Structure 1
Amino acid sequence: MEQIEKLPERHRLLRKLESITDLTEAERQALMELPVHLREFEAGHDIVRAGDRPQASCLILSGFVCRYMLLSDGRRQIVAFHPPGDIPDLQTLHLKTMDHNVGTMAPTTAAFIPHEHLHRLTQQHPGLLHAFWRETLIDAAVFRAWLVSLGRKTAHERIAHLLCEMAMRFASVGLAEDHSYQMPVTQGDIADALGLSNVHVNRVLQDLRRDELIHWRRNTITVLNWKALEDLAGFDPGYLHIRPPALKQ
Structure 2
Amino acid sequence: MSATFHPGYNPMIRKIESIFALNDGERQALLKLPMQVMAIKADQDIVREGDSPSRSCLILSGFAATYKVTAQGKRQIVSFNLPGDVPDLQSLHLKVLDNSVSTISPCSVGFIPHEALRDVCERYPRITAAFWRETLIDAAIFREWVLNVGRREAYTRMAHVLCELLTRLRAVGLAEDHSCDLPITQNEFADAIGVTNVHVNRVLQQLRAEGLIELNGDRLNILDWEKLKQVGEFDPTYLYLENNQAAA
Q: TM-score range by the shorter chain?
A: over 0.9
Matches within 5 A, 1:14-29: 14-29=13-28
Contact 2:3–2:36 (8 Å) recurs in 1: no
The alignment's TM-score, normalised by the length of structure 1, stands at: 0.96
CA shift at 1:7, angstroms?
Answer: 9.5
Residue in 1 that maps onto 2:87: 88
Contact 2:3 2:37 in 1 (8 A): no
The Cα shift of 1:5 comes to 2.8
Quote the Cα distance in structure 1 between the aligned partners of 2:152 and 2:37: 40
Q: State yes or no: 1:2 paired with 2:2.
A: yes
- Say which SS state the counterpart of residue 221 (structure 2) adopts: strand
CA–CA distance in structure 2, aligned partners of residues 37 and 8 of structure 1: 21
**1:116 matched residue in structure 2:** 115
Deviation at 1:3, TM superposition (A): 3.8
Query: C-alpha distance in 1, partners of 2:3/2:157?
Result: 40
Alignment of 1:1-249 (within 5 A): 1-5=1-5, 11-247=10-246, 249=248
% identical equivalent positions? 48
Q: Distance in 2 between matches of 1:30 and 1:77?
A: 36
Cα distance in 2 for residues equivalent to 1:8 and 1:54? 29
Measure the CA separation in 2 of the matches of 1:103 and 1:21.
Answer: 27
Aligned partners of 2:163 and 2:67: how far apart in 1? 21
Deviation, 1:8, is 7.4
Q: Within 1, Cα distance between the matches of 2:8 and 2:60?
A: 9
Report Cα offsets for 1:134-177 as digits up to 9, x if no partner.
00000000000000111111111100000000001101111000
| Mean Cα deviation higher: 176-185 or 84-93 | 176-185
Would you say the 8 A contact 1:155–1:204 is kept in 2?
yes
In the alignment, the residues of structure 2 paired with residue 31 and residue 116 of structure 1 have an alpha-carbon distance, to the nearest angstrom, of 14
Matched-pair contact (CA < 8 Å) for 2:8–2:14: no
Q: Which runs of 5+ in 1 are unaligned?
A: none
Q: Secondary structure at the match of 1:59?
A: strand
Whether the aligned pair in 1 keeps the contact of 2:59 and 2:82 (CA below 8 Å) is yes
Give the secondary structure class of the aligned counterpart of 1:91. helix
